[in-house]
Amino acid sequence: MCIRDSFSTVWLAKDLKHESYVALKIQKSAQNYMEAAFDEVEILEQVSTKWKTKEWQESYRQYESAKEISSDSCNCIQLLNSFIQYGPNGKHFVMVFEISGVNLLEVIKRYNYRGIPLPLVRTVTRQMLIGLDYLHRICHIIHTDLKPENVVVCLSKEELRDIVTKGQFGSNKSEYKH
SS3 per residue for 35-47: HHHHHHHHHHHHH
| pLDDT greater than 90 at residue 86 | yes
Indicate the pTM of the whole model: 0.80
| pLDDT greater than 60 at residue 2 | no
72 among known catalytic residues: no
- Average pLDDT for residues 53-63, to the nearest whole number? 88
Q: What is the pLDDT of residue 101?
A: 81
Backbone φ, ψ for residue 146 (5° rounding)? -80, 115
> What is the distance between the alpha carbons of residues 143 and 80, in angstroms, rounded to a whole number?
20
Q: What is the pLDDT of residue 29?
A: 87
Mind listing the pLDDT tens digit for each residue in 117-144? 998 899 889 989 999 999 999 999 999 9
> What is the distance between the alpha carbons of residues 61 and 23, in angstroms, rounded to a whole number?
29
> What is the distance between the alpha carbons of residues 155 and 110, in angstroms, rounded to a whole number?
16
> What is the distance between the alpha carbons of residues 11 and 19, in angstroms, rounded to a whole number?
16
Q: For residue 177, what pLDDT band results from cuts at 50, 70 and 90?
A: very low
Burial of 167 (0-12, 13-18, 19+ CB in 10 A): exposed
| pLDDT greater than 50 at residue 109 | yes
Check 5, 133, 145, 162 and give the catalytic one: 145
List of E strands, the chain:
2-4, 8-15, 20-27, 79-87, 90-98
